[in-house]
Structure 1
């Protein structure tokens, strides 16, 4: 009965995938494909030619996944995904099209897996509930992974900000301008903060004003200390104030905040260690301490 139900669910999932694929192919092609095809026809640029050959090499299954990802991702979801990708640093291996392409296979795999588990636990009702929950989980799985990557990246920015501030203070007090100090940090350090400063400098080289480039930096981060620093630098540039005292004050504040965060993390350690000690260490200690007494009592009662 269980194997038959799993087979029925697999056939239903395959039929649904075929129907969705047919529906996706009836939709107009996405804007990216239209732009690349137009560039390939009306320009002789090598990138456009490469894009045209890449289109010819794409498999039918890959195009179906692209269309299905577009169908399953409303505009609000895409905006949220773009926001999370910006916070995660826009990984080159995971552009938004690849993330959308991974959503239908994730829904299919997690749906079948949870349907099989639900069938083993609660029969047909569990299989249907598990399949539905698995499809929902698979739809949100790319967002969850990117959200996790964005949190880790913002934490890395928070940890590296005091050191970056110290380097910028040394550079500005040595006679460098703000742009040269940021360039020195971007070239001499590694990490998310250096990448963000490098992007700010690239935008400025392309003609974007410094204030606008710094404002776009605040949109790519959730670190409040960095946002306060950017706001102070923008106001200093608008008012014509020297940035050296501002950087020095923020660097001192960042060192104090880093020490406070370290003390806070140290105070949380005993609370975090409490539950592992109760679950793993105390039972072993009880066995070692009370075990011989229990054995002696059992022997005494058995002898009596």
Structure 2
């Protein structure tokens, strides 16, 4: 019986068929057992607190809040697996997601879950590809290197894709903030010189930038709300510089903090810094324009030189070949 099954597997899947079936069964068992192993037991003290809150709350709004808290507990059931246990690593991942524009409270969990899920999906796709390639190879079968490449490659690509996506989002968001920052300084300077306070000018600038530069407008809006809530202005500005991750905004925050500490005019500081940011934007555009010829050199050589050689040398080569053929 076992010999017949082994022969059937070898005929359909090739010499490595048994190994592939064992690997797929292992992945299936891992997928089945992971939810059981990662299920987080509810703390009895937390359960007692929930019961007490349920008894106290009687109106519909409290019931709605309880539903939200239950949803939160379901989402955080696998937090020990989906979140880094090291506080420094957790802060670094959260800051990177904030710089990418993902501001949800559970963004870190979603990020690691996407890595895990895409990695598992990639391994399944890799197993299917290995089976197909083995059938195409016939009796020779696949080499160990080819099997590892086709089997593990899609899984590694799926695992690394969220990290690549977040990195690209961070770069795109930083570029958008850098483009809109000089204009925001000009508008803020106009508002301050018109007699508005710094808080009012930030709110006005956030409203005006909403259509053209939504990322920068959101940062200004968050700064205004935090100042209204009573948070220290210096800490609010430093948090903004960390969320943006742009050197221009970090320097701007330093200028505002120093202006506030030394009692100098904010309008004068904004005027000088806005002028510097305009010059820096022009210099950045000139830098990109100067890099363009260098980047076009390789493409120009590849698209121009071969046709030119064919036009110049082609007739001579053709005549030489005809003469040699006639001889």
Q: How many residues in Structure 1 have an aligned counterpart in Structure 2?
A: 293
Shift of 1:94: 8.1
* Structure 2, gaps ≥5 residues long: 1-13, 135-141
Rate the CA distance shift 1:243–1:87 in 2: closer, same or farther, 3 A.
same
1:14-29 equivalence runs, <5 A: 14-25=28-39, 27-28=40-41
Partner of 1:79: 91
Distance 1:135 1:303, change over 3 A: same
Q: 1:302 to 1:109 in 2, by over 3 A?
A: farther
Among 146, 149, 153, the residue aligned to 2:173: 153
Q: Does 2:280 match 1:252?
A: no
Aligned position for 1:166: 186
Q: How does 1:1-304 map to 2 (within 5 A)?
A: 1=14, 4=17, 6-25=20-39, 27-28=40-41, 41=54, 43=57, 44-45=61-62, 47-51=64-68, 67=78, 70-71=80-81, 73-76=83-86, 77-91=89-103, 95-113=107-125, 123-128=143-148, 131-132=151-152, 134-190=154-210, 191=213, 192-304=215-327
Q: How far off its partner does 1:229 sit?
A: 0.9
Q: Deviations over 1:115-152 (max 9, x none)?
A: 66688596234433664555454444323321221121
Where 1:45 maps in the other structure, the secondary structure is helix
> Could you list the per-position Cα deviations for residues 164-184 of structure 1 after superposition, in whole angstroms to 9, with x for gaps in the alignment?
111111111222221121111
Q: Cα 1:66–1:132, aligned 2, differ >3 Å: closer, same or farther?
A: farther
Deviations, residues 175-218 of structure 1 (Å, cap 9, x unaligned): 22211211111011132211110010011122212222111112
Distance between the aligned counterparts of 1:14 and 1:203, measured in 2?
48
User: Which 10-residue stretch deviates more, 251-260 or 90-99?
Assistant: 90-99
CA contact (8 A) 1:116 1:127 kept: no
**C-alpha spacing 1:275/1:46, structure 2 compared with 1 (3 Å):** farther
- State the secondary structure of the residue aligned to 1:75: coil
In structure 1, how many angstroms separate the alpha carbons of the residues matched to 2:306 and 2:31?
A: 51
Secondary structure, aligned partner of 1:241:
coil
Cα separation, partners in 2 of 1:110 and 1:66, compared to 1, 3 Å: farther
3-state SS of 2:310 partner: helix
Is the Cα–Cα contact under 8 Å of residues 88 and 146 in structure 1 kept in the other structure?
yes
